[in-house]
Amino acid sequence: MKKWFALIVMLTLLLPASIASAAAPTDPIKVFVDGKQVKFDVDPIMSNNNTLVQYTTVFKALGMNYSWDQQEKMVTGYNDYILMHLKIGENVAYINNKQVKMDTAPTVLKGRTLVPIRFISEATGAKVVWNGKQRTINITSAPEKTELSVWLRDQQWNDSFASVMESESLELIDQDKAHIRYEAIDIAGFTAYPTYYFDGDKLFSLDYTFDVQAQSNMDYLLAIGTLYNELEAHFGEPYRDELYFYDEADYHEDVEQFADSIAAGEAELTTTWQIGYTEIELAAFSDEQGGIDLYISLFNTK
């Protein structure tokens, strides 16, 4: 009997500690980003098994910029790689111009706009772990990316003419007040000439003009496919991919004739990626001499 009594006493002593180690269902949810607790003006709430938190605080913790459109009731969060739009009461968001469905719509509580934290965090590439016992959310930020910087040749949008001139290591070909063109570089095995364009002494576009040594129009089509794969490997699927025929009478679905149609000035091909506020466009259209002009252009859309 003494052994059983001692065991019961031991379990009785351990039970309160076990209960105390788990958070009560009514305790506020705690959020940690890279090990640091995030404090909110309004406590996080649960909706449809999703945690919603104050958008300004979580965007800041994730290293993102943000804005609020009162007329549209829309939250915008962005960094160099992500541009997201979320509307109050709507469970459809836009990530880099792609429509994405959310389980729970943003809402307003006590004058603060709340957004689903898992959706926001994972859209940036962060890892999210929910601990139901402790009622905690642990977020690990996404690794720093460099792909866009490589395509921008380490330049920044709105850099000045003089700044680009000073930092660019390529040999200058020509320039005026609005553009600077440099010697050729290799992209995916093709010769490309980078040209910077300025508006009011602010960099707003970078074009790569390709010199494809084509024996036939199909060689252009192969070049387009290779460059498409190169961009997709860095930035994922584009949000727009369009072969546009100027006249419906010229439309056809024969892939082998696409290049001939583009060279003849009957069609153009445009594929577009949105990376934060940077738009990347792969475009092919007639050079008006029976060949094809092929470009990759980066634009500042902000």
What is the radius of gyration, based on Cα positions, of the chain?
Answer: 27
- Taking alpha carbons only, the member of 102, 124, 125 closest to residue 47 is 102
**What is the model's pLDDT at position 290?**
87
pLDDT in tens, 62-100: 999 999 999 999 999 999 999 999 999 999 999 999 999
Q: What is the pTM of this model?
A: 0.86
Given the candidates 3.30.457.10, 3.30.830.10, 2.30.30.240, 3.10.20.600, the CATH classification of the domain at 26-140 is 3.30.457.10
What was the pLDDT predicted at 13? 46
The string of pLDDT tens digits covering residues 117-172 is: 999 999 999 999 999 999 999 999 999 999 999 999 999 999 999 999 999 999 99
DSSP classification of residue 171: P
Q: Considering the chain, tell me which residue range(s) the CATH 3.30.457.10 domain(s) occupy.
A: 26-140
Asked if 300 and 260 count as a contact pair (C-beta separation under 8 A), the reply is: no
Residue pair 104/93 in contact by the 8 Å Cβ criterion: no
